[in-house]
Amino acid sequence: MAPFTALTRDALKHHYEENFQSNFTQEYLKRMNLRFLSVRCRTVFRTIGLFLLLVLIPQVMHAQSLDRIERERALSMLNLIKADLKSNYYDPTFRGMDVEARFKTAEEKVKAATSLGQAFGIIAQVLLDLNDSHTVFIPPSRPETIIYGWQMQMIGDKCYVVAVKPGSDAAAQGLKQGDLVLSFMGFKPTRKEFWKMRYYFTFISPRPALRAVVQSPGGEPRELEMKARVKPGAVIVNATTTLGLNELIRQSEDNYLARRHRYYDKPEVLIWKMPAFDLEDNDVDQLVNKAKSGQGLVIDLRGNGGGAETTLQRVIGSFLDKDYKVGDLTERKKSKPLMAKTRGNSGYTGKLVVLIDSESASSSEIFARVMQMEKRAVVIGDVSAGKVMRSRFNQHDLGTTTMVLWGASITDADLIMTDGKSLENVGVIPDELLLPSPEDLAAKRDVVMVRALELVGVKMTPEQAGALFPIIWEK
């Protein structure tokens, strides 16, 4: 079964239950002239957070105009995506979209496009119109990785800089962790639009430099233009391996930050910094068993974009004393239960606290919500992303000796939980909504972790908590 994956988004319910309908993508397509890329090498992207998705790639072709072959290629991509959508999308009504009319309009726009980059933008938009964050066009990618050297994140309803790589141009320009992002590439970041901005500027149209208007705590707004570092990719000829979508996303994000399972293991408490649901059952069991001798267990799912169903099932079963129905996977033609088998007496019965934020998505949201509904854990932090659909990656290729890989992520199921609701576009509202302040971010203080430790009877200063799991940048 395909893994749960995620892209990003949604703090209190009345703020974040809105649809994804957006003016950003329409406005963006008017402004931007995207470049065509044909494929020869492999570079991957995560939605990270992510941040998004994947693939393999070619040499860059700076096409100012669209020749006949390129236009036919774009039209072929559009038609194949239409077929994928009609065959595999979980909702036979396509969320009310008139698929034939929408794709016909897109076809006419592609015929009038002046560059293949514009054509790619048109193809991307037709799927974005579904307002489904797991149904996304994945064009042939680039022969290089563009590393911006800084990251931002929605905290509550505001966007903040949460990481700046030492030695990067962003650091040289004076960008600091804790800076409020007032404007990014001319757009105001909002919780509803954030993932789409990432999609365009990190995946569809990476830039040699990014512009942002930022404000440090107590300071004045300032505009910065921060150059990216371009890292050449490896050459892959005739690549045939199909990776799971979640793995493709994860690998790409690893180009920016080192993401691995980390732990704070003391006699009184185990803190599990869990970046993804990607462990085998035995690994999950060993970690959970470690916590049995202490006062409590804190599972930190902040930034966890999801992962495999099998890992999710094992983690849930480690904390409940009976087999548990997580919900019903609603597919196009049928619905089937998603079950988690208990570990019984081998499971963990002690105090449990779960941390989430706006980047917690998919499997991490489902786990947090199950623990919340069963009153098995206290959930602390920000409202989660609200992205719990299940998707499958539909891979296609062009070319013969040199293969150009591309495709689309298509949602094939929604998860309706036992309360009769879906978390999609809603997210998990924590038991305790607790957000770091700009000053906390700037001083690297983790007030959320401090509160979690208090609940299991452990004292730690915000500064000590902030130093537990420092950011590790890839070289």
Question: Same domain, yes or no, for 203 and 328?
Answer: no
Q: What is the pLDDT of residues 65-92, one digit of tens each?
A: 688 888 998 999 999 999 999 999 999 9
- Confirm if 329 and 336 have CB atoms less than 8 A apart: yes
Decide if 4 is inside a domain. Answer: no
User: Based on the number of CB atoms within 10 Å of its own CB, is 156 exposed (0-12), middle (13-18) or buried (19 or more)?
Assistant: middle
| Same-domain pairing of 328 and 345 | yes
Range of the domain at 140: 13-145+232-255+391-411
Sequence-ordered list of residues with C-beta below 8 angstroms from that of 52, at least 6 positions apart, any chain:
7, 45, 46, 136, 195, 198, 199, 202, 203, 249
CA distance 267 to 329: 40
Give the CATH number, domain containing residue 292.
3.90.226.10
Q: What is the pLDDT of residue 400?
A: 60
- Residues 393/248, Cβ–Cβ less than 8 Å: yes
Tens digit of pLDDT for each residue in 302-343?
A: 999 888 899 999 999 999 999 999 999 999 999 999 999 999
Looking at the fold, whether 278 and 329 belong to one and the same domain comes out as yes
Distance CA 429, CA 448 (A): 15
pLDDT at 145: 74
397, part of any domain: yes
**Domain identity same for 289 and 420:** yes
Residues 6+ away with beta carbon under 8 Å from 397: 403, 404, 405, 406
Helix residue ranges, H only, 374-446 = 438-442
Residue 379 forms part of a structural domain: yes
Q: Do 120 and 192 belong to one domain?
A: no
Burial class (CB in 10 A: 0-12, 13-18, 19+), 464: middle
- CA proximity to 164, closest of 145, 173, 151: 151
Q: From CA 68, how far away is CA 115, in angstroms rounded? A: 11
What six digits make up the tokens of 69? 């072959």
Q: Please indicate, yes or no, whether residues 221 and 299 belong to a single structural domain of this protein.
A: no
Q: What is the CATH number of the domain that holds 114?
A: 3.30.750.44
Question: For position 199, which CATH number holds?
Answer: 2.30.42.10
Phi, then psi, of 172 in degrees rounded to 5:
-65, -30
Specify if 7 maps to a domain.
no
SS3 157: coil
Classify residue 474: in a domain, yes or no.
no
Final residue before a domain boundary, out of 215, 230, 245: 230
Report yes or no on whether pTM surpasses 0.95: no
Structure tokens at 166: 């030492």
Instruction: Give residue 124's pLDDT.
Output: 92
Shared domain for 167 and 115, answered yes or no, is no
In this structure, the answer to whether residues 324 and 454 fall within a common structural domain is yes
Whether omega for the bond prior to residue 458 falls within 30 degrees of 0, making it cis, is no
Q: Do 187 and 86 share a structural domain? A: no
* Within-domain flag for 442: yes
- Identify whether 472 is part of a domain: no
3-state SS class at 30: helix
288 plus 400 within the same structural domain: no
Q: Residue 238: exposed, middle, or buried by beta-carbon count in 10 A (0-12, 13-18, 19+)?
A: exposed
pLDDT tens by residue, the chain, 475 residues: 333 333 222 322 332 233 223 333 344 333 333 222 222 222 222 222 222 222 223 333 333 468 888 899 899 999 999 999 999 999 999 999 999 999 999 999 999 999 877 888 899 999 999 988 889 898 886 667 788 899 999 999 999 999 999 999 999 999 999 999 999 999 999 998 888 888 777 777 778 899 999 999 999 999 999 999 887 764 333 333 333 444 444 444 444 556 789 999 999 999 999 999 999 999 999 999 999 988 899 999 999 988 889 999 999 999 999 999 999 999 999 999 999 999 999 999 999 999 999 999 999 999 999 999 999 999 999 999 999 988 888 888 876 655 667 889 999 999 999 999 999 999 999 999 999 999 999 999 999 999 999 999 999 999 999 999 998 887 6
Say whether both 345 and 291 belong to one domain: yes
- Domain count across the chain: 3
- Give me the torsion for CA of 72, 73, 76, 82, rounded to 10°: -120
Which of 424, 411, 389 minimizes the C-alpha distance to 127? 411
- 475 assigned to some structural domain: no
- Is 290 in the same domain as 199? no
